Amino acid sequence: MKVSDQKTAEGILFTDQYQLSMAQLYYRMGLHEKLVQFDYFFREYPDYGAHKAGYCINAGLEWLLDWMQDAHFRDEDIEYLRHQTGRLGARVFADDFLAWLRANGSFDAISMRAIPEGRVVHPNVPLTVVQGPLAMAQILETSLLNHLNYQTLIATKAARIRDVGRGQLLLEFGLRRGQGKGANAGARAALIGGADFTSNVGISYVLGYPPKGTHAHSMVQVFIALGASELDAFRAYADVYPDDCLLLVDTINTLASGVPNAIKVFEELRRQGHEPVGIRLDSGDLAYLSIQAAKMLDAAGFPQTSIVLSNDLDELAIWQILTQISEEAPRYGVDPDRLVGRLAYGVGTRLITSHGEPALGGVYKLVAVQNHGAWLPAIKISESPQKTPNPGHKHVWRVYDE
């Protein structure tokens, strides 16, 4: 997208057309400034297929508020709406409504109450409650859902992965497999939910985290293509980053080439007074390879170096790896708990897309309308009974079992 188009596509028009059609109808009926309440909630925990979440982690509010504070109908947005035509060529939006929108089309009159980001949340409980004039509260719907649904989804996935990974270092690697710029929102949500760091440089900058990453296979390939070797590539890396040396060992053959070459370089580093950080495994049977790599690193005098695992990891894959390690490691004389204690996880695709359940079905439902100072409950009886919301004001209680 052209930079000049971004303000248009990501501003107040980051909404669905029907919000604007309804807003005009409310204006026409004199209802546009009626005070209403919408509740944001989700109906079911994410169901990943083979497993299902039993909680969600609330996220996305701050970015939603940032968006709301900036979004308003600019002259060019109004001009665009002025030129919209219906099926028979007549204008969709009338001048009086557009004039009202130009003057009142911001979220300044909206008030929100919400459960803070990072909290554990549950279905059918209002997580964010919006009160405000009907037209603008309606226009808000799409962007609110977009911001809150996705970040809550990813924060939840990150918390699950963190949990299964026994609290070992969790790195978010998903930028290349996210939905365009939305990958930044995903990285943020992952950090809220349980990731320690992300490889995403820009979002790390904005949020004040140090971004993480070392090198790719391509670096080793460049050296080989030019007639040098994996060992030369590793040496070059150690030379440039002697105190942050983490080597990707699966470009040629993990156990026959990568790990032995890494150990050679680690020994050279140590002789120069630097402690190596570790290795990364990015293909193959990660449980088996991590056991063998640990054994080799131990034997070479590097029992503390990290072993970073990556390649389509998620909570299920990590659980399988840890299970396999606990069964197989003793057979090779490797202590499984000590091995797990040196693992770190780089999780990309399956975190940023919430593999198994790529959307949270959070909804934003009208629950009350104020009339002559009194709040009237609003309800929708749907053909799908689970879609029927709980009308009126609600108060969320959390009962702790002591």
Return the residues of window 66-85 that contact its own copies according to CB under 8 A: 66, 70, 80, 84-85
Binders in 104-163 for its own copies, by CB under 8 A: 134, 138, 141-142, 145-147, 149-151
Nearest residue (CB) to its own copies, 330 versus 371: 371
Q: Tell which residue, 226, 221, 204, 222, has the closest CA to residue 213.
A: 204
Contact 256, 282 (CB under 8 A): no
Among 96, 99, 166, 218, the residue binding its own copies under the rule CB under 8 A is: 218
Stretch that binds its own copies, among 294-302, 320-328, 335-343, 383-391 (CB under 8 A): 383-391
Positive/negative CA dihedral, 241, 247, 251, 254: positive
User: Distance (Å, rounded) from C-alpha 311 to C-alpha 172?
Assistant: 12
Distance CA 302, CA 266 (A): 8
Distance, CA of 276 to CA of 241 (rounded, Å): 10
Q: What residues contact residue 117 under an 8 Å CB cut-off, 6+ apart? A: 58, 59, 60, 61, 62, 151, 155, 192
Nearer to its own copies, 149 or 261 (CB): 149
355 is a site residue for its own copies (CB under 8 A): yes
CA distance 168 to 332: 22
Q: How far is the CB of 113 from its own copies (least distance, A)?
A: 19
How near is the Cβ of 28 to its own copies at its closest, in Å? 5
- Residue 67 or residue 397: which is nearer to its own copies going by CB? 67
50 vs 400 by CB, closer to its own copies: 50
Asked if 185 interacts with its own copies (CB under 8 A), we say yes
**Of the residues 163, 196, 267, 285, which one makes contact with its own copies according to CB under 8 A:** 285
State the minimum distance, in angstroms, from the CB of residue 374 to its own copies: 11
H or E segment and range at residue 278: strand 278-281
Residue type, 302: F
Considering only 10-18, 51-59, 265-273, 331-339, which stretch makes contact with its own copies by CB under 8 A? Answer: 10-18
Stretch in the footprint of its own copies (CB under 8 A) among 113-121, 213-221, 264-272, 313-321: 213-221
> How long, in residues, is the chain?
402
**Beta-strand relationship, 246-248 and 170-172:** unpaired
Q: Is there binding between residue 200 and its own copies (CB under 8 A)?
A: yes
Tell me, letter by letter, the H, E, C secondary structure of 326-344.
HHHHHHHCCCHHHHHHCEE
Applying CB under 8 A, among 50, 88, 103, 399 the residue interacting with its own copies is 88
Subset of 265-284 contacting its own copies (CB under 8 A):
277, 283-284
Q: How far apart are CA 92 and CA 83, in angstroms?
A: 8
